[in-house]
Amino acid sequence: MFLTRMKGIIKKDLNQENVLIYGAGESGVLLVKESSINPNFPYKIVGFLDDNINKIGGKVYGLRVFGGLDKVREVVEKKDISKIIISMPSVSQNKVSNILKEINKIEGLSVKILPNVDNLIEEGNLATQLRNIKLEDLLGRDEIKINTKEVFDFIQDKIIFVTGGGGSIGSELINQIAKYNPKRIINIEINENTSYLMELELKRKYPYLDYKTEIASVRDFDKLDILFNKYKPDILFHAAAHKHVPLMENNPEEAIKNNIFGTKNIAECCLKYKLESVVLISTDKAVNPTNIMGATKRVCEMIFQKYSEKSSNTKFMAVRFGNVLGSNGSVIPIFSKLIEEGKNLTLTHKDIIRYFMTIPEAAQLVIEAATIGKGGEILILDMGEPVKIYDLAKNMIKLSGSTVGIDIVGLRPGEKLFEELLYDVNSSEKTSNNKIYITNMENEKVKVDIEDYYTILKDLIKENDIIGMRRTLANIIGTFKGRVE
């Protein structure tokens, strides 16, 4: 049987790429097994790389384990390797990032990654499920450590509302919250398609979870009031918002109606029904905003700060963070799709820099931030080191084995070249989690009575006075740096 398998490996088309498998474990062996029985397997597996010294020099399923990371270049050159398949589903992102940095030094060498075996779409067809690298593979992130006991005490047996639970952050918040034994989770979402898919996924993952979707808009105060009265929530995470910068730049009235008035409706209901804690999901774009989306999110923070002053029962707080990897409409999934389609990547500026965090990281820290907040604060998530998007795009192209180019198309309306730091280490207050800070409250203090502007904004929307809306947002915020004409 073994000889039959090996003959299958040897009798391969000479045009096949020579590949090494990084990871001589169970999933790597599955690939070798498939290559021996699948006549259409596209690669010739030459051997393994592995960092386990007990495996180096030996053989796994008849193939040699040549060495670890320090042997990559030597083996690639000796064996004429054109691709490395990383088959280490349980290894940390940091480890994958270090491997990719080493591989990236070698010209003509590309990478594929085998997903976690549990996430494979179908058994026995692994080659078609090998994926190109993603941005998170390149970045490498330290594992987030949270105070599980505090989060458990915060969530357990509570009725939780999540607005916008069908979106990238909202859906991950629900997934994370479900682990901590809530009494019930209610997803308030206007998009019925994403809501339906969420229900299917949650029923599969958490069959005993009391979960319900309510199709509703945060703009509709009367419907919200009915839902609050019906379910009597304890905690609310407000993730519903319009977040797309160029679209909101061209449709400021929609950003104002959804973000500002939607947040006001949520805050009013939370105050009325005396919730324990309410958390606004905010953004780095609220810092000295240069666009309508960021400006409306800064006003949302101000609304929560004002409602915190009104309430002695409910803790109103906001959590700010930057770009999340893989969020709906973000640039990285678009890059990946263009690479797969063999099309040039489009980038707005060669020097554009951003901070990134994975969606699970952000959701975990938002939930812990909610346990830390006492009310009235703006909590800031540490996004790590800034990333130059052009360099990342080049690395994604190279390591995917693609030859597509990068087209520089110019900054979009309202887009910043450099995102500002979310916090100043010297003036921000540290918390029990080294990834969470509390911003200097004097710097963020609301200097206007936001309630004076609600009627003005409503009238401007009725009149479709775009310039008036921009000027009013600038008057409210004071640090608005976007166009007002």
**Of 467 and 340, the one with more pLDDT:** 467
Question: For 133-137, 276-280, 439-443, which range has the lowest pLDDT when averaged over its residues?
Answer: 439-443
Digit-coded pLDDT (tens) for 373-417? 999 999 998 887 778 888 888 888 887 888 899 999 888 877 778
Q: Is the pLDDT score of 135 beyond 80?
A: no
Strand, helix or coil for residue 311 = coil
CA angle 187, 191, 194 (to 5 degrees): 75
State the average pLDDT for the chain. 88
| Per-residue pLDDT at 270 | 98
Query: HSE of 440 in the Cβ direction (CA atoms, 13 Å)?
Result: 10
| Per-residue pLDDT at 428 | 79
Task: Using alpha carbons, list the distances in angstroms from residue 224 to 187, 216, 312, 318, 338.
Answer: 12, 7, 22, 20, 40
Dist CA 127 CA 30 (whole Å): 10
| Per-residue pLDDT at 331 | 74
Strand, helix or coil for residue 17 = strand
Q: Which domains does the chain have, with CATH numbers?
A: 2-131 (3.40.50.720), 148-477 (3.40.50.720)
**Of 478 and 158, the one with more pLDDT:** 158
- Enter the tokens of residue 105: 């030094």
Nearest to 188 by CA among 252, 231, 124, 135: 231
| Per-residue pLDDT at 164 | 97
Region 79-101: what's the mean pLDDT?
A: 89
Q: Is the pLDDT score of 442 beyond 60?
A: no
Neighbouring residues of 442: CB distance < 8 A, sequence distance ≥ 6: none
Dist CA 59 CA 65 (whole Å): 6
- Enter the tokens of residue 422: 């979310």
Which one is catalytic: 285, 297, 315, 398? 285
Digit-coded pLDDT (tens) for 223-265? 999 999 999 999 999 999 999 999 999 999 999 999 999 999 9
Digit-coded pLDDT (tens) for 413-432? 777 787 665 555 566 788 88
Question: For 233-247, 281-295, 444-458, which range has the lowest pLDDT when averaged over its residues?
Answer: 444-458
Neighbouring residues of 34: CB distance < 8 A, sequence distance ≥ 6: 41, 124, 125, 126, 127
Task: Using alpha carbons, list the distances in angstroms from residue 24 to 63, 187, 208, 325.
Answer: 10, 43, 38, 29
- Enter the tokens of residue 230: 């019906």
| Per-residue pLDDT at 423 | 52
- Enter the tokens of residue 327: 């969020």
**Of 262 and 445, the one with more pLDDT:** 262
% of residues, the chain, pLDDT over 70: 90
Dist CA 287 CA 280 (whole Å): 15
**Of 135 and 181, the one with more pLDDT:** 181
Region 282-289: what's the mean pLDDT?
A: 91
Region 111-132: what's the mean pLDDT?
A: 72
Strand, helix or coil for residue 195 = helix
State the burial class of residue 51 (Cβ atoms within 10 Å of its Cβ: 0-12, 13-18, 19+). Answer: middle
| Per-residue pLDDT at 411 | 84
Q: Is the pLDDT score of 171 beyond 80?
A: yes
Pairing verdict, β 429-430 and 406-408:
unpaired
**Of 150 and 354, the one with more pLDDT:** 150
Query: CB count, 10 Å around CB of 80?
Result: 9
pLDDT tier at 8 (50, 70, 90 boundaries)? very low
**Of 113 and 383, the one with more pLDDT:** 113
Find out whether 192 and 218 touch, Cβ atoms under 8 Å. Answer: no
Q: Rounded to the nearest 10 degrees, what angle do helices 262-272 and 292-310 cross at?
A: 20
Dist CA 262 CA 241 (whole Å): 8
Dist CA 310 CA 355 (whole Å): 34
Q: Is 33 a catalytic residue?
A: no
CA angle 182, 187, 188 (to 5 degrees): 140
Q: Is the pLDDT score of 74 beyond 60?
A: yes
The model's pTM: 0.81
| Per-residue pLDDT at 11 | 46
- Enter the tokens of residue 423: 């916090």
Q: Is the pLDDT score of 2 beyond 50?
A: no
| Per-residue pLDDT at 7 | 46
